[in-house]
Structure 1
Amino acid sequence: MDQLEINDQLDKIMAQTESDIEKLFAKRLKSILAQMSTMYFKLSHKGQEPSWTDVNKYNRFQQEMKRIAQQLDGDYRKLILEITKSHQTLYVEKYLMMAYLFSMSNAEELGFQIPSESMIQTALINPVEYLTIPKIFEFHRRELIRKLNIEIAQSLQQGLGYSDLAYRIQQVMGFSRKKAILVARTEGGRVRSTADLQIEEDIRGKVNLDKAWMSSLDLRVRSSHRKLDGQKADAEGYFHHLGLKAKGPHMWGVANMDIQCRCTVIYLVEGKYPEYRRGRDYMDVGYQRKLANRIEKYMADEDLTYKQALKKARKELQPPSTVIPFVNYKDWKREFVA
């Protein structure tokens, strides 16, 4: 296991959460469209679309909107619970996997402890009150209900057919779905960075720990984060960009630096990349020196990102064979949490 593999596993947890959000919105869209279809069928007359007068008679329209609002209330409560549960898993797994990695690559006991309930809750709560998940989703819920109310009312007033109404509803629901995924992804990244900071705090003074910013590989990475790629943190653990500073991704306190960021940090213990696998001494001084030199060379000569250079160097360099008592992560975790 190495830090890139840890990030891949955490990405899978986040991907499952995003899939669950997709399913929740798809289910509610199907329900709303079925409700509107039934209303159109009941109120249509001789092949004519329902008139606004018919729909609004006996307070029918308000009753339909009330049903939709009640359904969305339940959906957003479920959404908050699911995302919170996912972020708890992200925090605990990130902490434990990094603790395992550092413990296995260090000769001395580092004194890691199981994250407490208060530690987890503190990590999950955004320090900015109006950016907490319940606050954000309460605003999103009200906005979604308002937009659905407007689109449905305007469609009926204009005498549009069911297919046109369905298209408008799909557009509104699709936009809200994307916003929900964006919130989950951004807050999930912040939680992962918070776990990193807790690890740093727990081993401070016990080992010489450095960290470097690592951007994603694709072309969607914002230019500011491309410039940060490979930057080492200062003595206080901060990264710097145009007068701003942060201890990790999602911690700049500026929307255009934090929202939907997919960057991570990579740690070096005593100047080495901590890794642990059977039969290879990944902490060998000579191997680590060659690895660091090769990374710098590729970044300078081939204009690769930090992550690209690291992956390429690892493919080309093999650490020396050695006999290492192997403890896999599952066995280590079972004993650690016992």
Structure 2
Amino acid sequence: MSKMKKRFKAINKLLDGMTTAKEKVIIGLYKKCFNEMYALLHKQYKQYQTDGILTFETMIKQNRLKKFETKMIQLLTMLNKDVGSTIYEHLQNVRLQGYYRSSWIIETMSKVKLGYRTVPTDVLEKSIEHNFTGLTLNDRLEKQRKEIIIRLRETVTRGLNEGQSIQKMSRAVQKDMGVSAGKANRIVRTESHRLIQQSTLESANHANKSGVIMVKEWNSSKDERVRQKHKANHRILNGKKIFVHEKFKQGSVKGDGCGMMGTASHDINCRCILSYEIERIEAKTHEELAKLTYEEWMKLRLAP
């Protein structure tokens, strides 16, 4: 494995670790919300239960159920806001880190002054909000908020009609929250992966246009989980090398790379990564660039 390929794999490992850590933060937010919801549910049982049973008939009196649902929705709305801001901040971070670290690697290994600049805010926001589903990040989170509200309403109403104990109902609520947390983390994982691959490709494309001609390689994770379906076979794509401006092709689908094929069958939960190699250099080189650390490069070479 070449030195450049190793360094690009290291970038992916670093940013993937950041994503895993952020998934744990999101799980923590869901646990906090569930604890608050359990306290709210416990209060209803304590006030209105008979022999440990809380019924639908009891809860519809004096708008008790409606008041409970209003408070539940408030908790879920706050959760959605916290999860959304957590995801957005993380996606901004991996997008920038992916671009800057890739640019540092390419410039110091090619020894060509490539004139990389900071990512403009509008470009950063556009890359985060873009998605093949046609829904923005906020749209997807709002859709998920509405889904969990409906699901929990059904769970609570069913539990009341069945005369469930607080233990049984809380387990059902916890299960619903777990499903929602899984969906939120799927968004984090899929979108982080897309932005990491997109940012490294943008860096390589910039270099390619500036005299450092580059190729990109599709790298699968080489385990039993690598998708090999007819519509999305990443085992076939593994090891495929093309110039950075070209498209990968698999069946009827064309795309710039891992997480950027434009279809759910290819992109959701994809773990493949792009690595890069310098094909040739058609620009003046500067030996002093080779020894710059990432921190030095950020300070000396990245233009505002």
User: Does TM, normalized by the shorter one, top 0.5?
Assistant: yes
My pick for the range that moved more, 73-82 or 323-332, is 323-332
1:331 matched residue in structure 2 = 296
Q: Which residue does 1:256 correspond to in 2?
A: 265
Matched, 1:226 2:191: no
**Distance in 2 of aligned mates of 1:4 and 1:214:** 9
| Residue 23 of structure 2 is aligned to residue 18 of structure 1 | yes
Shift of 1:61: 0.5
Tell me how far 1:191 sits from its aligned partner.
Answer: 1.2
Q: CA deviation at 1:128?
A: 4.4
d(CA) in 2 for partners of 1:260, 1:15: 13
- Structure 1 residue 131, shift from structure 2 partner: 2.5
Q: Equivalences for 1:186-335 in 2 at 5 Å? A: 186-205=190-209, 206-223=211-228, 224-233=233-242, 236-270=245-279, 326-335=291-300
Alignment of 1:86-105 (within 5 A): 86-105=90-109
Distance in 1 (CA, whole Å) between partners of 2:243 and 2:115 is 25
Deviation at 1:195, TM superposition (A): 0.9
CA contact (8 A) 1:18 1:181 kept: yes
Give the superposition deviation at 1:102: 0.6
Q: Distance in 1 between matches of 2:64 and 2:289?
A: 73
Q: 2:172 aligned with 1:172, yes or no?
A: no
Q: CA deviation at 1:324?
A: 9.5
Contact 1:148-1:172 within 8 A present in 2 as well: yes
Partner of 2:3: none
Q: Distance in 1 between matches of 2:207 and 2:292?
A: 21
Q: Equivalent residue for 1:59?
A: 63
1:268 alignment partner, SS class = strand
* Cα offset, 1:325, TM superposition: 6.0
Q: Are 1:146 and 2:150 an aligned pair?
A: yes
Letter paired with 2:58: D
Task: Please state how far the C-alpha of 1:251 moved relative to its aligned partner.
Answer: 1.5
Identity of aligned residues (%): 24
Closer, same or farther: CA 148–237 of 1 in aligned 2, 3 Å: same
The amino acid across from 2:101 in the alignment is: M
- Whether the 8 Å CA contact 1:186–1:261 is kept in 2: the answer is yes
CA RMSD, Structure 1 to Structure 2 (Å): 2.0
Q: CA deviation at 1:79?
A: 1.4
**Residue 119 of structure 1, CA deviation:** 2.0
Alpha-carbon separation, structure 1, partners of 2:171 and 2:72 = 17
**Aligned-residue offset at 1:204:** 2.5
Higher CA-based Rg: 1
Change (3 A) 1:271 1:18: farther
For each residue in 1:267-312, what CA deviation from the matched residue of structure 2 results, as whole angstroms up to 9, or x when unmatched? 011269xxxxxxxxxxxxxxxxxxxxxxxxxxxxxxxxxxxxxxxx
Q: Which whole-Å CA distance do the structure 1 matches of 2:173 and 2:239 have between them?
A: 44
C-alpha offsets along residues 161-198 of structure 1, whole Å, 9 cap, x if unaligned? 11110111011101000000001111111211221232
Partner in structure 1 of residue 120 of structure 2 = 116
| Residue of structure 2 equivalent to 1:28 | 33
Q: Which residue does 1:313 correspond to in 2?
A: none
Distance 1:204 1:109 in 2: 12
Query: Relative contact order: is structure 1 or structure 2 higher (C-alpha 8 Å, sep ≥ 6)?
Result: 2
Bigger drift between 246-255 and 148-157 goes to 246-255
Shift of 1:127: 4.6
Q: Is the Cα contact below 8 Å between 2:208 and 2:244 reproduced in 1?
A: no
Residues of 2 paired with 1:249 and 1:28: CA distance? 34
Which ranges in structure 2 are unaligned for 5 or more consecutive residues?
1-5, 282-287
From the superposition, tell whether residues 236 and 5 of structure 1 become closer, same or farther in structure 2 (CA, over 3 Å).
closer
1:270 aligns to what SS in structure 2? strand
Hey, what's the Cα distance between the residues in 2 that align with 1:271 and 1:336? 22
Aligned-partner SS, 1:326: coil
CA contact (8 A) 1:123 1:195 kept: no
Counterpart secondary structure, 1:105: helix
Q: Is the 8 A contact 1:210 1:271 kept in 2?
A: no
Are the counterparts in 1 of residues 26 and 83 from structure 2 also a CA contact under 8 Å? yes
Following superposition, the deviation at residue 200 of structure 1 comes to 3.0
Kindly tell me the number of residue pairs found equivalent between the two proteins.
287
Counterpart CA distance in 2 for 1:152 and 1:124 is 36
When residues 168 and 96 of structure 1 are mapped into structure 2, their CA distance, relative to the original with a 3 A threshold, is: same
Tell me, yes or no, if the aligned pair for 2:128 and 2:137 is still in contact at 8 Å: no
